[in-house]
């Protein structure tokens, strides 16, 4: 290199399709990860919860009525908690029509079905354990499914999987059960508390509305659970100006419903 050459720019942040490419297909369905794949998006985010009969499913809200036709199918079961329905019941629900007629018949995926599709699309996964306080033991159960499907082996666990939660206890449990898995804490902890989170996390993942360049730098100045600088993946950024803004702050990842918009805004052509 000569002094006339510019220094290497820092790499563009990773673009993560939030609940899949959820601006274009119903969130947390196989159609949503396929929509991300069609846009050549490698990373998808999801939310894991548990049914009444102990099966893991991919759904964001702790109730089923926003993203399925549960109110029509089971009108007397309000408030339609995920935890109050068996997998067989949940599989009767249409998780696509609310989004658009072309997605009619889309189902709430099991974790196994979801992981198979992520694998067949050759994608990587930022998995959120949602509301773990409702589902004791969900971390171990999730890791068991991932192990059985080969996601804790070699390249996958090193490069293609991150498990995150808004619950520090849940992140800690995941880290202690399987220290090789990369983990993220969702939230905006005080800078003084970062070393505490860094004991069991590799990432701190805050809302983009809560960050500035100094905060991003303060996070990245701390070493995470695997000895590398803590990363920052921020959410949920759905427009180009905000994507450029957080990229300029130096974030490592951007979680977005519109991954094509974000990728085009932050990656060099």
The residue ranges that bind ligand G3P (CB under 6 A) are 18, 45, 47, 60, 128, 186, 235, 255
- Whole-Å CA distances, 132 to 81, 83, 140, 164: 14, 12, 11, 11
Options 27, 34, 94, 128; binder of Ca ion; rule CB under 5 A: 128
- The residue whose Cβ lies closest to Ca ion is 128
The residue among 161, 160, 163, 236 whose CA lies nearest residue 200 is 163
Q: What is the rounded CA–CA span in Å between residue 118 and residue 129?
A: 17
CB of 205 to Ca ion, least distance (A): 10
For residues 56 and 163, what is the distance between their CA atoms, to the nearest angstrom? 15
Backbone phi and psi for residue 215, each to the nearest 5 degrees, phi listed first? -70, -45
Q: What amino acid positions are annotated as catalytic residues? A: 18, 60
Q: Which does 235 bind (CB under 5 to 8 A by kind): ligand G3P, Ca ion, none?
A: ligand G3P
Q: Which span sits near Ca ion by CB under 5 A: 105-113, 123-131, 139-147, 173-181? A: 123-131
Task: Please answer whether residues 14 and 254 qualify as being in contact, where contact means their C-beta atoms are separated by less than 8 angstroms.
Answer: yes
- Cα–Cα dist 159/14, whole Å: 12
- By CB under 5 A, residue 47 contacts Ca ion: yes
Question: Least distance to ligand G3P from the beta carbon of 61, Å?
Answer: 9
CB of residue 69 vs ligand G3P: minimum separation in angstroms? 22
Q: Does residue 202 belong to the site contacting Ca ion (CB under 5 A)?
A: no
Residue whose CB is less far from Ca ion, 128 or 231:
128
């Amino acid at each position: 290199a000569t002094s006339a050459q510019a220094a290497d720019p820092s790499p563009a942040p990773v673009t993560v399709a939030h609940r899949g490419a959820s601006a274009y297909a119903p969130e947390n369905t196989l159609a949503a990860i396929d929509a991300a794949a069609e846009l050549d998006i490698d990373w998808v985010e999801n939310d894991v919860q548990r049914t009444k009969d102990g099966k893991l499913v991919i759904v964001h809200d702790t109730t089923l009525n926003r993203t399925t036709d549960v109110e029509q199918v089971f009108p007397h079961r309000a408030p339609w908690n995920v935890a109050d329905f068996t997998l067989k019941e949940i599989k009767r629900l249409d998780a696509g029509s609310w989004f658009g007629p072309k997605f009619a018949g889309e189902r709430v995926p099991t974790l196994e079905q979801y992981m198979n599709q992520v694998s067949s699309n050759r994608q990587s996964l930022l998995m959120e354990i949602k509301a773990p306080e409702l589902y004791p033991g969900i971390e171990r159960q999730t890791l068991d499914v991932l192990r059985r499907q080969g996601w804790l082996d070699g390249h996958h666990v090193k490069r293609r999987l991150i498990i995150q939660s808004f619950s520090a206890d849940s992140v800690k449990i995941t880290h202690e059960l399987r220290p090789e898995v990369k983990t993220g804490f969702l939230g905006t902890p005080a800078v003084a508390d970062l070393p505490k989170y860094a004991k069991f996390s590799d990432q701190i993942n805050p809302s983009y509305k809560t960050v500035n360049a100094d905060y991003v730098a303060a996070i990245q100045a701390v070493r995470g659970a695997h000895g590398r600088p803590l990363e920052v993946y921020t959410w949920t950024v759905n427009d180009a100006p905000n994507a450029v803004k957080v990229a300029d702050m130096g974030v490592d990842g951007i979680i977005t419903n519109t991954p094509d918009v974000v990728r085009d805004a932050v990656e060099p052509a």
